[in-house]
């Protein structure tokens, strides 16, 4: 197996390739470096088979979709990834076979709800779940410190002690660590109970990373910041969120809300389907279409729906900003709606 870290920076991108068969996978490409990756692939005469993002990144723009567009390579992410245009949605335990090696998907949420680790031969790519002598933050983008503790202690720490750990970030110049080393001496996790870990992570008192919304929102929506005016964090935080069950309960009432689905058309008719009667306006078109097409709903109840309940929060905040009075977002999106076995149309 050919193995390279491609950035030589704090933000890590990994290339794995089966030596004999010239097939390759790139993990966590960074948008600024896509041309460099193409150069490396060409130099080694590798055909890119798969691009994987370990999670929705908040600190830099993902290069996954640009690299995919230029090479025709599918993009894989966990099923809870909020963005459209993910070619392959991954689940815990799934095996990705790439030439003479395979990657096993380990669902390791906590840093984000869509965080995965990838286990290949003697090494594991831990995204921002487990870092070298640290852990990724769990205080933004849907993070949950308790889930992260479980992901680390119940999933990653059950791998053989000799397993090499390659995280998505390192700020101190480390290249890798091992599971055994982290189990024994990771200062955040070793010897700490779940409760103590949650307490520690919820009280780190770190400021939000600079430019977080400028990276996070385009990564979550696949819309460039130049193409849409994204809401501010406080506008996003003030969006009311209702569960699928609460929304289902309101559909039969006399005051039935307008259901507004903001996914792409192929998602609306795709695997997760849509709720009967939901009107489709993709998020990228919403700012220009809302006034003309939804004018009669300015003072009515609107429920915004998407895949994972992330794009719908953005859309709800945009509508509120345009003067729509009663807009809420469906929590967990069509993923939760389907998981609750509520009816869909395709």
Contact residues: Fe ion, CB under 5 A: 57, 128
Question: Residue 75: beta bridge partners?
Answer: 51
CA 58 to the chain's CA centroid: 9
Contact 86, 125 (CB under 8 A): no
Q: Are 64 and 55 in contact (CB under 8 A)?
A: no
Q: In angstroms, give the least distance from the CB of 5 to Fe ion.
A: 16
Nearer to Fe ion, 98 or 201 (CB): 201
As a whole number of angstroms, the distance between CA 174 and CA 24 comes to 24
Count Cβ atoms within 10 A of the Cβ of residue 197 and give its class: 0-12 exposed, 13-18 middle, 19 or more buried. Answer: buried
Token pair for 13? 């991108």
Q: Which is nearer to Fe ion, 55 or 331 (CB)?
A: 55
Euclidean distance between CA atoms 267 and 250, whole angstroms: 24
* CA distances (Å), origin 241, targets 97, 316, 322, 328: 39, 10, 19, 6
CB 116 within 8 A of CB 54: yes
Q: Count other Cβ atoms within 10 Å, centred on residue 83.
A: 24
- CB of 59 or CB of 92, closer to Fe ion: 59
Using the Cα atoms of residue 156, residue 75, residue 29 and residue 213 in order, give the sign of their dihedral.
Answer: negative
Structural tokens at position 122: 């003697």
Q: How far is the CB of 45 from Fe ion (least distance, A)?
A: 32
Residue number of the CB closest to Fe ion reads 128
Q: How far is the CB of 55 from Fe ion (least distance, A)?
A: 6
C-alpha to C-alpha distance for 243 and 306, rounded to whole angstroms: 13
Q: Which is nearer to Fe ion, 57 or 188 (CB)?
A: 57
Q: In this structure, what are the phi and psi dihedrals at residue 70, rounded to the nearest 5 degrees?
A: -80, -25
Q: Please, which residue, 60 or 123, has the CB nearer to Fe ion?
A: 60
Q: At closest approach, how far in Å is the CB of 302 from Fe ion? A: 32
Count of CA atoms in the C-beta half-sphere (13 A) of 117: 30
Of 127 and 244, nearer to Fe ion (C-beta) is 127
Decide whether 51 or 294 has the Cβ nearer to Fe ion.
Answer: 51
User: Closest separation between CB of residue 11 and Fe ion, Å?
Assistant: 9
* Beta carbon of residue 322, minimum distance to Fe ion (angstroms, whole number): 31
In the complex, least distance from residue 235 CB atom to Fe ion, rounded to whole angstroms = 23
Helix and strand totals (H; E) in the chain: 12, 19
Q: Nearer to Fe ion by C-beta: 143 or 244? A: 143
Best CA proximity match to 279, nearest among 289, 271, 253: 289
Closest distance between Fe ion and the C-beta of residue 214, in Å? 15
Strand order in the sheet with 258-261: 240-242, 326-330, 301-305, 258-261, 279-280
Of 128 and 170, which CB lies nearer to Fe ion in the complex structure?
128
In the complex, minimum distance from the CB of residue 173 to Fe ion, in angstroms, rounded to a whole number: 19
């Amino acid at each position: 197996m050919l193995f390279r870290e491609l950035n030589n920076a704090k933000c890590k991108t990994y290339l794995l390739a089966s030596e004999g068969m010239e097939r390759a996978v790139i993990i966590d490409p960074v948008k600024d470096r896509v041309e460099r990756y193409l150069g490396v692939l060409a130099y080694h005469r590798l055909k890119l088979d798969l691009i994987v993002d370990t999670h929705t990144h908040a600190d830099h723009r993902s290069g996954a979709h640009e690299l995919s567009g230029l090479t025709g390579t599918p993009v894989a992410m966990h099923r809870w990834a909020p963005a459209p245009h993910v070619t392959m949605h991954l689940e815990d335990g799934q095996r990705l076979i790439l030439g003479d090696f395979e990657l096993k998907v380990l669902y390791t949420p906590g840093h984000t709800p869509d965080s995965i680790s990838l286990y290949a031969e003697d090494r594991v790519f831990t995204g921002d779940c487990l870092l070298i002598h640290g852990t990724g933050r769990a205080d933004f983008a849907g993070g949950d410190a308790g889930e992260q503790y479980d992901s680390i202690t119940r999933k990653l720490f059950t791998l053989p002690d000799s397993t090499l750990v390659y995280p998505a970030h390192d700020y101190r110049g480390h290249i890798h660590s091992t599971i055994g080393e982290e189990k024994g001496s990771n200062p955040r996790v070793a010897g700490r109970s779940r409760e103590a870990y949650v307490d520690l992570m919820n009280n780190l008192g770190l400021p939000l990373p600079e430019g977080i919304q400028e990276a996070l929102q385009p990564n979550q929506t696949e819309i460039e910041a130049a193409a849409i005016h994204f809401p501010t964090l406080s506008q996003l935080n003030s969006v009311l969120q209702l569960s699928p069950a609460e929304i289902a309960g309101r559909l039969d009432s006399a005051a039935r809300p307008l259901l507004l689905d903001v996914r792409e058309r192929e998602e609306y008719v795709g695997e997760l389907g849509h709720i009967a009667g939901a009107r489709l306006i993709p998020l990228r078109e919403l700012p220009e279409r809302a006034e003309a097409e939804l004018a009669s709903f300015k003072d009515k109840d609107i429920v915004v729906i998407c895949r994972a309940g992330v794009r719908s929060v953005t859309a709800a905040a945009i509508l509120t900003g345009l003067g729509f009075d009663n807009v809420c977002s469906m929590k967990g999106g069509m993923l939760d709606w389907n998981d609750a076995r509520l009816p869909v149309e395709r």
